[in-house]
A and B are shown apart, each in its own frame.
Chain A
Amino acid sequence: MENNSITQKEKELVIARLEVVSPELSFYVGGEDKSFSKQDLIDEINKDTNVGKEFVKTQLKFLRAMKDGSLMKVLVA
C-alpha cells in the first residue's frame, strides 16, 4: 500500500534537488495554465498546494525506483 503522506524531510530533499535545476526551465502540469519556475515549485511545495504535493510524489517515486532497481528493470525491458 502506497503511503501518500509527505514528510518534511522528503519535501526538503525534493527542494534541494530543485535548487540545481537550470533557471531557464519551466514546468507545466495538469490543468494549470501557468508555468512554474523552480522557485515557483519550491513555493508550491512549501505551501502544500496540490501542484507541490504531486510534484514531490513524482520525484519520490523516481528516487524509489532508482533505489530499488525498478527503474533499471523498466529501462532495459
Chain B
Amino acid sequence: MSRILLVSNSHHDRPTEYLTSWFDKIVAIAENQSDIKIIELKKEQSNKKELVDMIEKENPQLVIFNGHGGYDSIGGFNREILIKCDDNEHVLSGKIVHALACRCAKVLGKKCITLGTHCFIGYKEDFQLWTESKDSKEEHLADKTASLFLDPAYEVIIAIIEGQKTGEAFARSQNMYRQKLLESIANGQQETVLASIFHNMQHQVCLGDQTACF
C-alpha cells in the first residue's frame, strides 16, 4: 500500500450521518484501487488525540474531514475540536486536505497552506444542505435532494483518488455543481433549494498547490 487516506467521520447528528453514508461511496471506489489503505475514525474515534496519533503513526497523504467546522477550526464527534488555528494545524503539513465542514477554508485552510499543507479543499462559508430527512443509510443514498449537494461536493475526492491533480479535481467538482444546477433548473426544482447549491458552489475553494496528487 503506497497511498494512505485518513478520514474523520464525526457522525453524531443528522447532517453528519448523511455525510458518512455518502462517504461510503468513496470508500467503495478507494477499495477498488489496490494501492490505497483507508483509515476511518468514526463517531467517538473522531477525537483530537486519535486523529493526531493516527496522522503521526500512519503519515497519510490525504486527510478528509466530514463534520462541523468554523472559520478557524474543524470539529469531530460531538464537536470536539480536531484541528484549530495556532494550535495543531501543523499536523496537516505535507498533506492534501479535504474538509466537508462549514467555513474552515477561510481562515484555517489559508493558515494550513502557509504552514506547508500541499492543498486544502473546502468551503469558505457555511455548507448548506437540503435533504428529505431520512433515517437509514439506504434512504440517505436514495435521497435525490441530498444528492444535489453531496454528489458534487464529493466528486473532488473521487477525482483525487482516481489520480487527478487537485486543481483538476476541483474543476471536476465545480463542473458537477454546474451540471446539477442546470439539470435542476430544467427539471423545475424549487429555486429556494437551487440557491443553496449555488451558494456551496461559489464558496468551495481549492487552496495551495493545484498540481498536487494523491
Contact = CB atoms under 8 A, between A and B. Distances in A.
Given A58-B199, A61-B195, A75-B181, A24 B190 contact: no
A6 interface: no
Interface string A26-44: 1111110101000000000
A75 B179 CA distance: 8
Query: Main SS of the interface on chain B?
Result: helix
A77 interface: yes
B138 interface: no
Nearest to A18: B192
Interface string B120-136: 00000011111111000
Contact of A29 (B79, B129, B145): B129
Contacts of A62: 191, 194-195, 198-199
A73 B182 CA distance: 12
B76 interface: no
Interface of B: 13-15, 68, 70, 79, 102-103, 126-133, 145, 178, 181-182, 190-196, 198-199, 201-202
